[in-house]
């Protein structure tokens, strides 16, 4: 991650694919874990803990989307719909069937995975633009169904269900800090799982399909199976993220799962870097925190800038900035923040020597 890879020469494929690329990485990773688990939650105030929690939830969803778009090369404009499925499943399971929250969490993921399988079915027949359109349709169909089927959305305003807070044993996770630990744990599991998917047979099959589907098929990759698997795993991530979101917020509401959110997730993986786990982390953090921080900063200049309602101004500014950044990154640096980071690292690889 941040270690200098100077003087490290890999002589086997195993070494090249290892989770820790350099021996020092074990220590750095342990250091990061300790920082996120032991230091960060205790130095942040509540407001910034909220930011961290949002980043964590978005990261889980964005990892799923990056698996689908970045690794398997199947575009999806309906990621928020899978989140909605997971979120509502979890909400219904805990609020009406009185199941423990972790059952809802896994149940939401599993149900979303099967929903993803269903939505992914067109990918067997169509690709590229047609697939994007099919997922777009899935987004709208899901939104409508959640909104209009009484059994799902209930009779509440905007199809919202009140969800009891997550309970772990006897402990009720209802403060920001307690939720932080839950989200952190799941985000770590999700990240490590994706890292491992990427370096196994499964991940290589995805990349082969992305790079050239016909060549992949000739090499023996069962395209139908792996495309659908990509959809399922990606939706599982989305479903878990949706369930997390629902428990975090305390209610399930369709407004959190609109198409705008789907585009937001696309922004995360594009800005972060398609096909890169580290990039997804950068992207999720950047896209989540930027509007919040912008609003914070602008609030301080309340009288100076000629804007009456800073909250809605930032909402629009967010669109303009992310839209511009998506275009800019696609034009200038299609590999995203991850590539920029690698460039910096490469510069320092043999520093201070020129080569």
Q: Is 45 exposed, middle or buried (0-12, 13-18, 19+ CB in 10 A)?
A: exposed
Is residue 330 involved in binding other proteins (CB under 8 A)? yes
Is residue 79 involved in binding other proteins (CB under 8 A)? no
In this chain, which of 130, 301, 348, 351 binds other proteins, going by CB under 8 A?
A: 130
Is residue 311 involved in binding other proteins (CB under 8 A)? no
Is residue 110 involved in binding other proteins (CB under 8 A)? no
d(CA 9, CA 228): 37
Is residue 270 involved in binding other proteins (CB under 8 A)? yes
* Pair of tokens at residue 73: 């090369």
* Span of 55-63, 98-106, 196-204, 261-269 interacting with other proteins by CB under 8 A: 261-269
Is residue 126 involved in binding other proteins (CB under 8 A)? yes
Is residue 312 involved in binding other proteins (CB under 8 A)? yes
Q: Which is nearer to other proteins, 222 or 346 (CB)?
A: 222
d(CA 17, CA 260): 36
Find the shortest distance in angstroms from Cβ 256 to other proteins: 18
Find the shortest distance in angstroms from Cβ 86 to other proteins: 21
* Pair of tokens at residue 247: 């428990």
Is residue 321 involved in binding other proteins (CB under 8 A)? yes
Q: Which is nearer to other proteins, 97 or 141 (CB)?
A: 141
Judge whether 82 and 234 are in contact, CB under 8 Å.
Answer: yes
Q: Is 194 exposed, middle or buried (0-12, 13-18, 19+ CB in 10 A)?
A: buried
Strands 251-252 vs 171-173: parallel, antiparallel or unpaired: unpaired
* Span of 73-81, 168-176, 189-197, 296-304 interacting with other proteins by CB under 8 A: 73-81
Find the shortest distance in angstroms from Cβ 157 to other proteins: 14
Question: What are the Cα distances from residue 16, in Å, to 46, 208, 214?
Answer: 41, 18, 27
Q: Which is nearer to other proteins, 108 or 283 (CB)?
A: 283
Is residue 214 involved in binding other proteins (CB under 8 A)? yes
The torsion angle over the Cα atoms of residues 88, 91, 92 and 97, rounded to 10 degrees, is 160
* Helix (H/G/I), strand (E/B), else coil: 169: coil
In this chain, which of 17, 117, 319, 342 binds other proteins, going by CB under 8 A?
A: 319
Q: Which is nearer to other proteins, 38 or 331 (CB)?
A: 331
Number of residues that bind other proteins (CB under 8 A): 49
Judge whether 146 and 254 are in contact, CB under 8 Å.
Answer: yes
Q: How many CB atoms lie within 10 A of CB 301?
A: 10
In this chain, which of 267, 281, 287, 310 binds other proteins, going by CB under 8 A?
A: 267
What are 162's strand-pairing partners? 251
Is residue 114 involved in binding other proteins (CB under 8 A)? no
* Span of 133-141, 160-168, 249-257, 342-350 interacting with other proteins by CB under 8 A: 133-141
Helix (H) or strand (E) holding 101: helix 101-120
Is residue 333 involved in binding other proteins (CB under 8 A)? no
d(CA 299, CA 285): 21
Judge whether 285 and 55 are in contact, CB under 8 Å.
Answer: yes
Strands 161-162 vs 171-173: parallel, antiparallel or unpaired: unpaired
Q: Which is nearer to other proteins, 99 or 133 (CB)?
A: 133
Binding site for other proteins (CB under 8 A): 69, 73, 75, 77, 122-130, 132-134, 136-137, 140-141, 144, 147-148, 213-214, 223, 259-260, 263, 266-267, 270, 312-313, 316-327, 330-331, 334
């Amino acid at each position: 991650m941040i270690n200098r890879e100077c003087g490290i020469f890999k002589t086997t494929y195993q070494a090249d694919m290892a989770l820790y690329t350099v021996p020092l990485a074990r220590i750095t990773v342990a250091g990061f874990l300790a920082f996120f688990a032991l230091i960060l939650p205790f130095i942040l105030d509540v407001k910034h803990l909220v930011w961290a929690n949002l980043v964590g939830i978005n990261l889980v969803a964005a990892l799923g989307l990056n698996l689908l778009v970045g690794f398997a090369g199947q575009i999806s404009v309906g990621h928020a719909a899978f989140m909605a499925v997971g979120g509502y499943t979890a909400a219904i399971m805990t609020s009406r069937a009185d199941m423990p929250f972790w059952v809802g969490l896994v149940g939401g993921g599993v149900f979303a995975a099967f929903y993803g399988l269903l939505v992914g079915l067109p990918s067997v027949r169509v690709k590229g633009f047609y697939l994007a359109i099919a997922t777009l349709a899935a987004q709208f169909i899901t939104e409508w169904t959640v909104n209009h089927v009484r059994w799902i959305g209930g009779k509440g305003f905007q199809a919202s269900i009140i969800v009891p807070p997550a309970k772990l044993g006897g402990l009720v996770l209802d403060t920001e800090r307690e939720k932080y630990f839950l989200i952190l744990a799941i985000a770590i599991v999700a990240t490590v799982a994706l890292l491992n998917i990427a370096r196994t047979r499964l991940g290589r099959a995805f990349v082969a399909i992305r790079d050239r589907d016909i060549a992949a098929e000739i090499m023996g990759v069962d395209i139908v199976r792996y495309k659908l698997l990509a959809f399922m795993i990606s939706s599982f991530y989305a479903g878990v993220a949706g369930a997390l979101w629902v428990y975090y917020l305390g209610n399930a509401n369709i407004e959190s799962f609109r198409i705008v959110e789907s585009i937001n997730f696309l922004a995360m993986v594009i800005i972060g870097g398609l096909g890169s786990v580290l990039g997804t982390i950068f992207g999720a953090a950047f896209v989540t925190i930027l509007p919040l921080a912008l609003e914070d900063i602008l609030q301080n200049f309340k009288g100076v800038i000629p804007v009456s309602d800073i909250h809605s101004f930032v909402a629009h500014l967010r669109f303009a900035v992310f839209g511009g950044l998506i275009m800019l990154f696609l034009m200038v640096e299609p590999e995203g923040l991850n590539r920029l980071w690698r460039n910096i690292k490469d510069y320092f690889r043999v520093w201070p020597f020129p080569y």
